[in-house]
């Protein structure tokens, strides 16, 4: 999943031959999961048609302040367009439009929207070699950058005039990469590694039966999404689950048993900055696993169990600079038991779940948790979606670690 997923991207197109690339840029933004609207200068319609762009974006294309073909002459509100956008990308940005942007000229809907926008603005210049090198163009670059706009550098290559040199608009793939990397570089967990566990473990009785629990893994997967959306490189070690995640910063390591989870977690812990163990790991496993399916013969049947390794405690014993978070699911004396685990397992934070709370626990999309820090702060939260709980958790970790 791209960092652009669910972003509202407004694409501005000006009258340059590079406008033919804008259709592919719309397609790439859509493929990244973004919502796209297009605003054009009137002259740019000579290079690429609004019909093409509206078909690709699945939104009307705006090129004038009113819909001239509509008898009702509905006004296209440039202020609303600017406020809708999370990002405004002007590609291609011609010398003419950049000069107007730099000097506050407002003679079309694209420029009016630019002056109204509150979001980050990126511009990708496209023009011939001599125009690109001209002092007035360089002045426009400096002015626009001073305003806080982001310049996506032009490339070098064959230009429309036949000259070869600087001024060729960056390719659509390069524009998307530039924007993604620029966003990621601003995120607070950029360059940090986060280790997360999720889901249950299954401990085999025989080839067809196992001891397990009702954990769906949803909480851990939401934490992985929240961490990766803050720029972290996430390793997600998960037991058997139907949950899925597709994010280019998340690497999923599937396991089945507590022993496999123990081994996988220890592979990655030393290189992690933060470890969040939300998995519901089995506390016991059968001492002996049958090679063949156990037949139903006796009225009663006993299984001898042995303890599994305590993954969380083992990490607490070897941690150095890592920030270690555990989860506690309790049914009685919740706060007391959670504080006990916080201390005995050498944690920095523990997340307390209580099965006494309606809407919390396994198999539901909501959770009601209490955060307890190593400094004994107790932070109670109301019932929320697990996605919101994950965001709250990550924000608290950021605050605690000053990341």
CA pair distance 110, 123, nearest whole angstrom: 13
Q: Is 376 a catalytic residue?
A: no
CA pair distance 12, 29, nearest whole angstrom: 13
Q: Which of 8, 24, 76, 213 is flagged as catalytic? A: 213
- HEC profile for the chain? CCCCCCCEEEEEECCCHHHHHHHHHHHHHHHCCCEEEEEECHHHHHCCCHHHHHHHHCCCEECCCECCCCCCCCECCHHHHHHHCCEEEEEEECHHHHHHHHHCCCCCHHHHHHHHCCCCEEEEECCCHHHHHCHHHHHHHHHHHHCCCEECCCEEEECCCCCEEEEECCCHHHHHHHHHHHHHHHCCCCCCEEEEEECECCEECCCCCEECCCCCCHHHHHHHHHHHHCCCEEEEEECCCCCCCCCCCEEEEECCCHHHHHHHHHHHHHHCCEEEECCECCCEEECCCCCCCCCCCCCCCCCCEEECCCHHHHHHHHCCCCEEEEEEEECCCHHHHHHHHHHHCCCCEEEEEECCCCCCCCCCCEECEEEEECCCCEEECCCEEHHHHHHHHHHHHHHHHCC
Q: Which residues contact 82 (CB under 8 A, 6 or more apart)?
A: 10, 88, 113, 114, 116, 117, 118, 119
> Using omega within 30 degrees of 0 as the cis cutoff, is the peptide bond preceding 92 cis?
yes
Active site residues: 213
């Amino acid at each position: 999943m791209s960092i652009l997923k669910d972003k509202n991207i407004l694409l501005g197109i000006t009258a340059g031959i590079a406008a033919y690339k804008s259709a592919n840029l719309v397609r790439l933004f859509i493929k990244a999961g973004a919502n796209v609207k297009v605003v054009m200068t009137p002259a740019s319609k000579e290079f690429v048609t609004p019909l093409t762009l509206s078909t690709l974006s699945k939104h009307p294309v705006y090129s004038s302040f009113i819909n001239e073909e509509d008898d009702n002459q509905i006004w296209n509100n440039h202020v609303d367009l600017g406020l809708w956008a999370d990002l405004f990308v002007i590609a291609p940005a011609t010398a003419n439009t950049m000069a107007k942007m730099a000097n506050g000229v407002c003679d079309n809907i694209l420029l009016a929207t630019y002056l109204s926008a509150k979001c980050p603005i990126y511009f990708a210049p496209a023009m011939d070699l001599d125009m690109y090198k001209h002092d007035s163009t360089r002045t426009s670059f400096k002015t626009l950058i001073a305003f806080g706009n982001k310049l996506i550098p032009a490339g070098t290559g064959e230009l429309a005039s036949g000259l070869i040199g600087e001024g060729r608009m960056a390719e659509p793939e390069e524009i998307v990469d530039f924007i993604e990397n620029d966003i990621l570089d601003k995120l607070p967990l950029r360059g940090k590694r986060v280790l997360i566990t999720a889901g249950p473990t299954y401990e085999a009785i025989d080839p067809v039966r196992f001891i397990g629990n009702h954990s769906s893994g949803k909480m851990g997967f939401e934490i992985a999404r929240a961490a990766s959306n803050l720029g972290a490189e996430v390793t997600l070690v998960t037991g058997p689950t139907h949950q899925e995640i597709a994010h280019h910063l998340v690497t999923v390591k599937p396991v089945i048993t507590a022993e496999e989870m123990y081994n996988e977690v220890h592979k990655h812990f030393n290189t992690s900055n933060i470890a969040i163990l939300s998995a519901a790991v089995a506390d016991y496993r059968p001492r002996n696993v049958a090679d063949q399916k156990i037949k139903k013969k006796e009225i009663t049947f006993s299984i001898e169990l042995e303890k599994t390794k305590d993954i969380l405690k083992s990490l607490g014993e070897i941690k150095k600079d890592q920030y270690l978070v555990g989860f506690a699911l309790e049914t009685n004396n919740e706060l007391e038991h959670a504080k006990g685990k916080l201390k005995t397992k050498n944690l920095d934070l523990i997340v307390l779940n209580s099965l006494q709370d309606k809407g919390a626990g396994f198999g539901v999309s909501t959770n009601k948790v209490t955060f307890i820090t190593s400094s004994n702060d107790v932070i109670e939260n109301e019932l929320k979606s697990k996605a919101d709980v994950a965001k709250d958790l990550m924000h608290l970790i950021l605050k605690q670690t000053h990341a």
